Amino acid sequence: MAFIKDTIEKLKQTSPAQTEFYQAVEEVLESIEPIIEERPKYREQAIIERLVEPERQIMFRVPWVDDNGQVQVNKGYRIEFNSALGPYKGGLRFHPSVNAGIIKFLGFEQIFKNALTGLPIGGGKGGANFDPKGKSDGEIMRFCQSFMTELHRHIGPNTDVPAGDIGVGTREIGYLFGQYKRIVNQFDGVLTGKASLWGGSHVRTEATGYGAVYFAQCLLGDNDESMKDKRCLVSGSGNVAIYAMEKLYELGATPVSCSDSNGTIYHKNGIDLDLVKRIKEQNHGRLEEYLETHSGAEYTKRQDYPEDGHCVWRYEADLAFPCATQNELTEKDAQALLENGCRYIIEGANMPCTQSAVDLFIENNAHYAPGKAANAGGVATSQLEMAQNASMLKWSFDEVDDKLQRIMRNIYRDCKRAAEEFDHPSNLALGANIAGFRKVADAMLQQGVV
């Protein structure tokens, strides 16, 4: 469709050097082509042109003082992308690679993901090019306080509700919340992923990883298979990877790998999850330390990965869960997975597979679950946290987990139905984009030209 090409070309001119953002937009626009043709109103009302332009983008200076008394400066971002379905909602990423294009791709994906949850939340994302690695607790706190000193004027429980993402977990949310409360003098549900002791929801920590595995269960079930005895490759060793592995073990599967930005562990007998939690959650250490306890496991340093991909995808397994970061699974990795008999690819991370990897999975009829559907359990549980905060109630772990399971089943069903309706019954990427887009686009039509 010429219109899609034109849209991408225009974006390249008006928002230069935002490669990941173009990638995310192109992927969505190509799969919603049939529905744009079916409903001329979307074109007449410039829904696409409006969708690709954030409602608001905030960029700010984040000055802070390090442990040596040196003043440091980072760049902070919050992109309030689309509020057609509810207050902006989406995480904050603290990572040195963060720039406006990365935050925009994440915010754009978040719009459709949040729509798929069926809950009243719009799409947003934020972060900073701050590297938490090697920073002391005091430095992290001062950075978070400075970040919130600007951010607080743009957010609110009914306006924009940030949460965590890479580099932002319960500790950072605590420091951010403390500063917000101090400035606005209100204890409200302005952030999610809070500690359970003071307003956090049960299951939010586990939700993204658990949700991805619940989604995989739906997919396996539809193919008369179960998780039992399945071998699973997992990348990452952060929040999403850890709780995906926990749920895999609970369901009788065996995760055999995990990774961090320095290297990959492959442990044929199954990853020692307690040890990974100790290294990562408690000590904020490096995965290489795993070998001190398990000398039989394999460790591959990042510099020894194949040139055209990531060594984690070169092992044999039934399922693959990319749970680290964007574009971490290349076409060559996809080829290796398929050759090794892997038939299920479930994205725990946001856009971890390159577009050519996704195309290869789909061409080969592998079961590919896109991140915007499979990892939506995190943001869905964030919305459950907002609901609990607003009603001043606290639900039990099982109550939240039951709701999460139901939401993941509904997302799976909606993606599948949309894929069937548009004659690509096994293409869940197409199904997710159409099902998510339709909700946002219809809400935008109903709200007029804004």
Ligand X SMILES: O=C(O)CCC(=O)C(=O)O
Ligand Y SMILES: NC(=O)C1=CN([C@@H]2O[C@H](COP(=O)(O)OP(=O)(O)OC[C@H]3O[C@@H](n4cnc5c(N)ncnc54)[C@H](O)[C@@H]3O)[C@@H](O)[C@H]2O)C=CC1
Window 306-335: contact mask with ligand Y (x via CB under 6 A): -----------------xxx----------
- Give CA–CA dist 422/30, Å, rounded: 13
Q: Was 326 annotated as part of a binding site?
A: no
CB of 125 closer than 8 Å to CB of 155: no
Per the rule left: phi > 0, alpha: psi between -120 and 50, beta: everything else, 224 is left
Is residue 239 involved in binding ligand Y (CB under 6 A)?
yes
Select from ligand Y, ligand X, none the partner in contact with residue 260, using the beta carbon and a kind-dependent cut-off of 5 to 8 Å.
ligand Y
Q: Was 382 annotated as part of a binding site?
A: yes
Select from ligand Y, ligand X, none the partner in contact with residue 89, using the beta carbon and a kind-dependent cut-off of 5 to 8 Å.
ligand X
Q: How far is the CB of 317 from ligand Y (least distance, A)?
A: 18
Is residue 201 involved in binding ligand X (CB under 6 A)?
no
Q: Was 113 annotated as part of a binding site?
A: yes
- Give CA–CA dist 450/448, Å, rounded: 6
Q: How far is the CB of 349 from ligand X (least distance, A)?
A: 9
| Near ligand Y by CB under 6 A: residue from 213, 349, 360, 411 | 349
313, amino acid identity = W
- Give CA–CA dist 288/406, Å, rounded: 38
Is residue 205 involved in binding ligand Y (CB under 6 A)?
no
Window 364-383: contact mask with ligand Y (x via CB under 6 A): -----------x--x-----
* Sign of the alpha-carbon dihedral angle for 345, 349, 355, 356: negative
Q: How far is the CB of 16 from ligand Y (least distance, A)?
A: 23
| Near ligand X by CB under 6 A: residue from 115, 379, 428, 430 | 379
405, amino acid identity = Q
- Beta carbon nearer to ligand Y, 39 or 171: 171
DSSP state of 156: B
Q: How far is the CB of 65 from ligand X (least distance, A)?
A: 28
- Length reported for the chain: 450
Catalytic residues: 125
Is residue 111 involved in binding ligand X (CB under 6 A)?
no
- Beta carbon nearer to ligand Y, 35 or 386: 386
DSSP state of 200: P
- Give CA–CA dist 396/4, Å, rounded: 46
Distances (CA, A) of 83 to 80, 113, 384: 8, 13, 18
